[in-house]
Amino acid sequence: MPVLSASIDAFLLTSLAIIIPAVYYSRKSNGAPSSPVPPFRKPLSVLVLLHSLYVLYKMILHFPPNLFMRMNIPLTMPSDEIRARLLRLAGMDAQGQLPPSLETLISRLSSFDARTVYVRFGQAVIQNCDYCQTPSEYALHALPTPLLQYIRAAAVVGLVTIVGSYRERWRMYGIAAIVCSAVVEAYIVLTVQIKIPRSGRDVVMWHDTMWLIRHLLFLALPPVIHVFLPANPPTPPPLATLSTVASSLDQTFLRLHLLRYLQGASLRVPEFRDRKEAFWETQRQEGTWGREDENVRRIADRLGLGYDERGVDGEGEGVGTSTSGEGRLRTNARVAVEGLKNGLRRNTQ
């Protein structure tokens, strides 16, 4: 069982363990402009952080009271002996008086059925319910507290997955996890068989155990949905991209016109014309060397880029040549040129 008398220092340390990763996540999200930012990311992050700190505060500083675990006494200890130990811890003699709530609790623990109810529903139910006599009445008295906690957790999950959080699709799964947890907890608490050994020790305190599991779920579920599960930003409508497409087409059209005029202008300047002729002459010489070199032709044939009508080592149709005896590279180039010419004819018609 967890420590029941946790100090403020423990709460502050665990709070820092939550706040520091939260601040790091927030700064990391701000430094990622490429990903779309949900419009409610900051308010929801603050909500998740505050909710996590509240649940942590309840877990550490307001854990359910348990007389037997706190005093490390067996569940089968007689009520008179429990009262005597409490008086000794309080520094009073045997004639002293305990607070009325403790007197009521000790008097009710004289019944074995009350101790089984203690294990199922916790100390606060037996200590605070004045009218309860049967287990069903204790169950009805214990119902509102966990029910309201589950409703609060469902509300937090609903806010974390609100429209504009980009995590709307996870709402159903989050609510389903909360509902399933509530049903399982109610089933276990109401139907589990309470086993009390003869020594009265090592008894599973089902109320405290389920309380801890419940709050661990409340602590983990909102951050998992808000931080770790992938977001699903809405896709922009097609009409929203028309302006971008039109702008790109205008820029492309202007570049094509500029290229056309640049080609004509470069031929009117002698210096540019000489450089252009020298460049293409160099390209022609290098191409001639490559086509006339036997090693280059052989390697091109083996790579499937043959451009000579002869195959490897002068054989008819070698590796990398087409069935017509023409190199594959020439065939692909011819097909590409014919495709461009046919497309140009269709566009001009």
What digits encode the pLDDT tens for the residues 206-234?
A: 999 999 999 999 999 999 999 889 888 77
User: Do 217 and 278 fall within a single domain?
Assistant: no
User: Do 198 and 316 fall within a single domain?
Assistant: no
What SS3 class is residue 85?
helix
- Using CA atoms, how far apart are residues 191 and 86, in angstroms rounded to an integer? 32
User: Do 214 and 263 fall within a single domain?
Assistant: no
User: Do 14 and 76 fall within a single domain?
Assistant: yes
Instruction: Note whether residue 243 is domain-resident.
Output: no
User: Do 185 and 261 fall within a single domain?
Assistant: no
Domain ranges, residue 297: 255-348
User: Do 203 and 265 fall within a single domain?
Assistant: no
Name the token pair of 143.
């119902």
Q: Which residues of the chain carry a pLDDT beneath 70?
A: 1-7, 29-35, 236-240, 307-327, 344, 346-349
Instruction: Note whether residue 246 is domain-resident.
Output: no
Number of domains in the chain: 2
pLDDT value at residue 162 = 93
pLDDT value at residue 319 = 41
User: Do 30 and 138 fall within a single domain?
Assistant: yes
User: Do 82 and 220 fall within a single domain?
Assistant: yes
User: Do 308 and 178 fall within a single domain?
Assistant: no
Instruction: Answer yes or no: are the C-beta atoms of 263 and 270 closer than 8 Å.
Output: no
User: Do 195 and 263 fall within a single domain?
Assistant: no
Instruction: Note whether residue 1 is domain-resident.
Output: no
Around 22, how many Cα atoms within 13 Å sit in the side-chain half-sphere? 23
User: Do 262 and 328 fall within a single domain?
Assistant: yes
Instruction: Answer yes or no: are the C-beta atoms of 56 and 203 closer than 8 Å.
Output: no
Is this prediction's pTM over 0.75? no
